[in-house]
Each structure stands twice: as structure tokens, then as C-alpha cells.
Amino acid sequence: MPSTTTPSRPAPWLRLIAAVLVTCCAALGFTAAPFATARAAAAPAAACASPQQCLTLKSLSNGRQLDVQNGSMGDGAYIVTNSAPGYHQSWRLSVDPSDYSFTIVNNDTGKCIDLAFFTPALRQQTCAGQASQRWFLQPAPGSDDAFMIRHLGDNTCLDLLLGANYDDAWTDQYTCNGTANQQWSTGFPQAARSLALDHAAKQCQKDVSSCSWALKSEAPAAPLPKICVSSVWFNNTSSAAQQSFAVTNMSGWSSSIGGEIGAEISGGAPGGVFTTAVKTAVNYSNVWQGSTTVNNAVTVSVPPQQYGWVTLAELARKVTGTWTFDARGIPWTAEDTITVPLTSDPSGGATLYIANTSPTFTTCA
């Protein structure tokens, strides 16, 4: 079973020695291995099922893309930045849905970015799921597509060693400070921001002190679009039949920025951390009691030769405000509109299960 121990950040003297070596090698023209082959033109990017599967991670400090030194396919090769076209500049994020951290996998070598033990330079290593290979995203100020790539195990960031402005510049891990050396573009800012928000929401659920909420506005209560909450049953007899439909737990929690934040609020309320964080900002007192509809059964009298099914018209209201996430001392904010479920509202009505019958069936809702 792989170790889950996270190597500590290299000592400053190791970083200093590495800096001296890099400087000397650059002066002598040895920034690339002497037997490295010339870079081939980059192959067309493969079709991607999602944005996070075909990324080019570009340094906002030197404008170069994350690459594997000398095009090596082996374990231990240093992670560098190179001009395009490079060797292996296509990456994917293998996301863990339990906390929305991820490993950074090279699409050519199949290996993960890992911490080094004796030098500050990051390396590629066979992906084994160990803690030293796990990262998460945090938006950086100044650009929609500027992110810090933060290590999950300690307060360090994927960093450009000494802010080098040449090819084969080493990357390293260094205490997060938000400088340009630690800012990277993804090419998919909206998807990247959603991933960052989903991780922050998970952390907020674990530790309510890491987040806060400031209300801006609330829309009046209104029913959400009807959705199907049962199977569809056909009565092929000559008389009416009573059919009992078991309905599942439903919730209207959703978020306009990251999908998971809504699900987590649903899972945590009532009594969860988001209740604590948001309750004072949401005016309607029945929000928390209505966060999840209880399991129940609905009986429908289905006429002969007709279909029967059950839909749900859930009452909800939209709450707009600003979330602040404090990721280990570097806070960031996200504007969000959250759809909050209600059991009832004097002006808006109530959440309703609706029995449906029809001689024909085309769509559930």
C-alpha cells in the first residue's frame, strides 16, 4: 500500500544550492541535457471528454508551459517550463471527488507531478495515489485564468524556481505567497474556478471557520421546474388500479458557480457547517427544515390503459451573496447564487408531490 506521508518542503540551503547549479548550467549552456533530441512539433491535442483532461499549464511569470525536461519518459525526470512546442506539455487532472483535490498527470508519459526528496525541483513519478502527488486549485487575483496550484499536504505552491526566464527552468514547491512565480493559466478558467470552488466548499464543510457568507439579495419564493421522482407505470387492465410510488430524497440546493457546493449544503443542512455559515443571512426560517424532503410514498389511481407517475414541484428561493474562503492564510472570494429549498412560504406556496395520469406518455415532467 503506498505511503501517505507527505515529504516536507526542501530546506532553504537545498534551494540555494539548486539555484547556484541552475545559474552555472545556464551560463555554460547546459540548461538541457547534451544528448537530448530536438523537440518535435507538438502533436494535435486529442479530443477531451472534459476541459480538465487536456490542459496546458502556462507560467504567468515567464510565459512558458509546464513540461518534462528533455522529453524523458522515466521516473525522476524534472518538471520544467519550456516554450511551445515542447516535449510533453499536455496534462490532465485526475480529480478525487471526496475533496476535489487532484493529481497532475502528463498525457504523454502517464506519470504524476511529485515532490522531490533531496532537491527543490519537482519531478514526474509513477502515479500511485500518495499524498505527495495531491494538489488543489485556488484562484489568484488579476486575471480570470490565474491560479495557484497548491499542495494538499502543506502550505506550499507549485513555483517557478527563482523566477527563471529561460527554457528548461526548474519548478519547485515553495511557501504560497501569490506572486507571479506561483501563478498558472489553464486555458479553461471557468472549469478550473468551479474545481477550486468545489474543493473550497469541501474544506468549508469540514471546518466552518475557513469560510464565511455575506448576503446581497434574496429572490421571492417560487416553485422550481417540475422533475420526475418516480418510475412510470402503465395500467394495462380494464379497471382503475392503485399504484404506490416510493419517492426519493430530493433537494433544490444548487450553485451558479460550482455544482458541488450546492450538494454539500444539502448534505450538511440542517445541523451541518453550512447551516452555521449561512443561517443568519437567509431570512426565511423554514429554509433549514426544508433542506431535504423526507422519504415518502405517493399513491396514484391510474385509469385503465393509462400511464401513472409522480412529479415534484419544489419550492425554493435564490440567495445571492459573496463567499469568502480562507485557504491557509490567503483568502479569496466567489460571487454565487444558491438555490435554497423551502418547505412552504406564505407568499410562494408549498413544495408539492403531484400525481400524474395520461393515456399517452412523452416526457416525465
Question: What total number of domains does the chain contain?
Answer: 2
136 and 228, same structural domain? no
Which of 121, 154, 187 corresponds to the end of one domain? 187
Which of 187, 221, 254 corresponds to the end of one domain? 187
79 and 108, same structural domain? yes
222 and 303, same structural domain? yes
Top mean pLDDT of 114-118, 284-288, 306-310, 311-315 is at: 306-310
Which of 187, 220, 243 corresponds to the end of one domain? 187
278 and 159, same structural domain? no
Proportion of the chain above pLDDT 90, given as a percent: 32
- Give the whole-angstrom CA distance, residue 342 versus residue 222: 9
What is the pLDDT confidence band of residue 91, given thresholds at 50, 70 and 90? very high
Selected residue with higher pLDDT from 347 and 15: 347
pLDDT at 262 over 50: no
Return the HEC string of the chain.
Answer: CCCCCCCCCCCHHHHHHHHHHHHHHHHHCCCCCCCCCCCCCCCCCCCCCCHHHCECCEECCCCCEEEEHHHCCCCCCEEEEECCCCCCCCEEEEEECCCCEEEEEECCCCCEEECCCCCCECEEECCCCCHHHCEEEEECCCCCCCEEEEECCCCEEEEEHHHCCCCCEEEEEEECCCCHHHCEECCCHHHHHHHHHHHHHHHHHHCHHHEEEEEEEECCCEECCCEECCCCEEECCCCCEEEEEEECCCCCCEECCCHHHHHHHHHHCCCCHHHHHHCCCCCCHHHCCCCCCCCEEEEEEECCCEEEEEEEECEEEEEEEEEEEEECCEEEEEEEEEEEEECEECCCEECEEEEEEECCCCCCC
Q: Work out the average pLDDT over 238-258.
A: 73
pLDDT for the residue numbered 312? 83
Selected residue with higher pLDDT from 290 and 151: 151
In a domain? residue 198: no
pLDDT at 15 over 60: no
CATH number at residue 74: 2.80.10.50
Nine-digit cell string for 121: 525541483
Q: Work out the average pLDDT over 71-75.
A: 91
- 62: nearest Cα among 186, 155, 185: 185
pLDDT for the residue numbered 47? 52
- Predicted TM-score (pTM) of the model is 0.68
254 and 139, same structural domain? no
pLDDT tens for residues 176-215?
Answer: 998 999 999 999 898 899 899 888 888 877 777 788 778 7
pLDDT tens for residues 302-324?
Answer: 999 999 988 888 888 888 888 88
Please state, rounded to an integer, the average pLDDT across all residues of the chain: 75
110 and 58, same structural domain? yes
What is the pLDDT confidence band of residue 252, given thresholds at 50, 70 and 90? low
Least confident of 46-50, 108-112, 122-126: 46-50
pLDDT tens for residues 139-158?
Answer: 998 888 999 999 998 889 99
pLDDT for the residue numbered 116? 81
pLDDT for the residue numbered 253? 62
